[in-house]
Structure 1
Amino acid sequence: MKPERFDEGRFEYGEAVRVTRNVRNDGTYPGLDVGHLLVRRGSLGNVVEVGTFLQDQVIFTVHFLSQGRMVGCRLEELISADEVWNPSRFEFRDKVVCTLDLGVQGNVLVAKGSDGEVMKVIRDDARIQYHVAFHARTLQVPESALAPAHPETFCEPEF
């Protein structure tokens, strides 16, 4: 059994962590445009520094070796690398295409090949699902029924 942490909410120097949200450049990462994806959700890194921002926010500088980046992360964006992680292929705002007809009771609501946009990732169980907006409809769709809309530029996640 893993010992309980008395310093819950803190990670120590060298501790392995996983980022739970995409980290984009907010303007503080030099050389890249604001909004540029720095580290994809699910990536593993190691804490190299603990500091504060605006005197009340704890910021962990995490070295993500596979991306070659050191990025500041807030506590709510990190979990221990040992914690259970249920990875998803797609994320909020990803453009997708359905790979089969989607329907209810034999009525096709969205035809195979229709473009959509991921509005929410649902990871409540082992099977990842998404709320996907297809033109005038939003449906809950299993990951297996989706493909990237632009596979040539799609970045597969690290698992």
Structure 2
Amino acid sequence: MTQPQFEYGESVRLIRNVRNDGTYPGKEVGELLIRRGAVGCVYDVGTYLQDQLIYRVHFIDDARTVGCREEELILASDPWVPNLFEFRDKVVALRSFAIGGEVVVERGQVGTIEKVLRDLPDGVQYHVHFSDGRILQIPEPSLAMVDAAAAGVDHE
């Protein structure tokens, strides 16, 4: 087994969403525990099945301690590009989109995030699945959460 990459007391950032795999008490299996981007402090390092390092990380802002695999963490000081939306989030288009001059998504149309594209030179973009079955790649500033749009929040 390799040596731990992170030590007790180090600040780390979560780079993947962590959902309950059935080991977190009081939460449903599959329920989101901590969103990617959250920063926490390594509390302990242990093993799972004798070959996987598991870091017990305390996320102060969420008042929660969860087990994280090494590949789910980076140092908190490492470069990070935040994103507003996650897989399965319901979003609304803030403008219309056309392909070959034909409008295929109207402003206000609701879609579901299928994939987050964070490492693009033009900023964060998403694969969004719209109700007509189309999946389009949409830049983050062109989307809003369905709840924010319903509340009349203007993002333009």
Give the structure-2-normalised TM-score. Answer: 0.88
CA RMSD of aligned residues (A): 1.6
| 2:32 aligned to which of 21, 37, 45 | 37
Runs of 4+ displaced beyond 3 Å: none
Question: Corresponding residue for 2:145?
Answer: 148
| 1:1-159 aligned within 5 A | 10-124=5-119, 125=121, 127-135=123-131, 136-151=133-148
Contact 1:92 1:119 in 2 (8 A): yes
> C-alpha distance in 2, partners of 1:103/1:130?
16
Question: Corresponding residue for 2:154?
Answer: none
Residue 85 of structure 1 and its aligned partner are, at CA, apart by: 0.4
Residues 1:8 and 1:122: Cα distance change in structure 2 (over 3 Å): farther
**Unaligned 5+ residue runs, structure 2?**
150-156
Residues 1:126 and 1:12: Cα distance change in structure 2 (over 3 Å): farther
Aligned residues: 146
Residue 137 of structure 1 and its aligned partner are, at CA, apart by: 0.6
The residue type equivalent to 2:70 in the other structure is L
Give the structure-1-normalised TM-score. Answer: 0.86
| Partner secondary structure for residue 86 of structure 1 | coil
The residue type equivalent to 1:151 in the other structure is A
The residue type equivalent to 1:129 in the other structure is Q
Q: Which one has the bigger helix percentage? A: 2
The residue type equivalent to 2:126 in the other structure is Y
Question: Greater CA deviation, 115-124 or 15-24?
Answer: 115-124
Question: Corresponding residue for 2:153?
Answer: none
Question: Corresponding residue for 1:155?
Answer: none
Contact 2:4 2:45 in 1 (8 A): no
| Partner secondary structure for residue 58 of structure 1 | strand
Contact 1:114 1:134 in 2 (8 A): yes
Contact 1:86 1:126 in 2 (8 A): no
**Unaligned 5+ residue runs, structure 1?**
1-6, 153-159
- Percent identical residues: 54
